[in-house]
Structures are given as structure tokens and as C-alpha cells.
A = this chain, B = another copy of it.
Amino acid sequence: MANKNIYMYIISDSAGETASKLAQASIAQYEQLDIECHLMKRTFIYEKSDLMIALEEAKLVNAIVIQTLISEELVKISNEFCQENNLFYFDALSPVVDEISQRTGVEPTRVPGALHFLNENYFERINAMEFAVKYDDGKDPRGFLEADILLLGVSRTSKTPLSLFLANKNLKVANLPLIPEAHIPSQIWEVDPKKIVGLTNDPKILNAIREERMRSYGLSPNTAYSDISKIKEELKFADDLYKKIGCLIINVAQRSIEETASIILSELGLEDHSYFS
């Protein structure tokens, strides 16, 4: 039986990040079902002529159109084209933008892609990303004192991806791998324990991950690195340290990076934000 094909066109005056997330979240609902989804991105569309090319392409494959355009003229052209040609479309930006305007009586700037330049947000984010790379893996403990968050954890507790994910939220994150034999930098005792997060994991899961890692290196899976009693020792060492510090402890087993990050943000009171325009 043939796959069922779905075409989606992302049409955006910016990088199409919002619409792509939305498309991927929808596609994910059909995981492992008999569907093939083709996601096409037509981004940085500012001109009517470029918009028309994208819409005509979308029409050819009867695509689902997900659109994040801010120009009133382009929104109107796109919506009308889809209506006239019986194309399903989802205007992801207009409803909320228009609602804010109605409530406040203030007109939106209608500057495309303004998301990237939201206040000082953008450059702060770039700095946070560079900070995360610079202070990854305990490379320079002097970063601990400058960091908004210091992540501690034994090998394979997602310290690096978690640091980068939080950096995307403009937070300066440093991380330190914990190895029982290795020296713990004195700086961790100068950091506010409220800014420290101790990551842990289930021994069996760590064992499986590390065996897999050894295999991917073409090595035998049974090394000291993946030995279960060695892993338990490491976790005990980490746990004792976390208790001594008095920091938040999170078990990352069965948790995605997004979920762990969400727990950290909410525990540190960083989940809610106010944007002063």
C-alpha cells in the first residue's frame, strides 16, 4: 500500500522558525503511521512576486499552508489565494497580533522577523550561546561565578545539550563533569547553591547508554566506563556532593532536554517573563 503523502508549505517573512515548530509538532502526531510528510520552507518572503511563486507551488501539490507573515498586504494576498484555490491554510501570527492591537489600541510595527531583534534579547542570546561553549565541560571554572546556572553531573547526564538549550533562553550556563577521581574546583563553593543544579540518572540507563557509546567507538561495551558498580559509585559520589552543596537535584532518566530545562526554569523562578516593549 502506498504511503499517504502530505505537503506542507511554510511561508514566512522571517526564518520560519515558529511555523516550522508548529508543522513538526503536528507531523509528530503521525509518527510511525502510514504517512509521509514533505515540509517545504519558503522564507524571507517580502515581495508579492516571491509570495505568488510560493503559493503557486503550494497549489500544485494541494499543500497545507502555514503562514507567518506580518505585512497586511501579503497576509491578505495569501489568505485570499488559499480561499480561492481551496487550499487549507493556517495563519499562525495574525490572530494574536490583532488581539493585542484591539486590546491596547496600539498598532503593531509590522516589521518582519522582529522576533530576532526583540529588545536586547538577540545579542544576549548570542552571548549566552558563546558562554555555554566557552564554559562547557568544566573548561574554565572561573566561568562558574559569572554563570546564571551551573550544571553538575556525571558523564552522560545531558549537561552539554541542556546548557545549549538554556543558552537559547538567554541564560549563561556553565557545566562541570563529575569524576570521583578528579579534583572539584574550589569555585563551586563560592557559587550561590540556588544557581546550581545536580543532574543524576538511573544506573541501568547510564549503563546502557555508555555500553552503546563504547560500541559506537568500535570498542568492547564492557569497560570500567560502563561497569554498573563503577557507575553506582560515581552516582553516589555525585549525590553526596549535591547534598553537601544543598542544590536542586534532577534525575534526567526518561526526561527530554526540554522537560529537564522546564523543571530548572520553574524551580529557579525563571519560567515567566515580562517583555517591556
Contact = CB atoms under 8 A, between A and B. Distances in A.
A31 B126 contact: no
Given A24-B115, A115-B25, A275-B37, A88 B99 contact: yes
Contacts of A258: 14-15, 17, 113, 116
Contact of A274 (B22, B36, B110): B36
A147 to B, nearest CB: 16
Contacts of A167: 164
The contact size tier of chain A is 35 or more
Q: How many copies does the complex hold?
A: 2
B164 A23 contact: no
A201 to B, nearest CB: 14
A64 B104 CA distance: 13
Interface string A1-24: 001101010000011111001111
Contacts of A115: 21, 24-25, 28
B129 A29 contact: no
A208 interface: no
B259 A99 contact: no
Given A113-B256, A272-B38, A130 B96 contact: no
B262 A39 contact: no
A228 interface: no
Contacts of A32: 109, 277
Given A21-B21, A24-B115, A116-B258, A106 B34 contact: yes
Interface in A234-277: 256-259, 261-262, 271-277
Interface of A: 3-4, 6, 8, 14-18, 21-41, 43-44, 64, 66, 68, 70, 88, 90, 92-93, 95-97, 99-100, 103-106, 108-111, 113-119, 122, 125-126, 129-130, 133, 136-137, 158, 160-161, 164, 167, 256-259, 261-262, 271-277
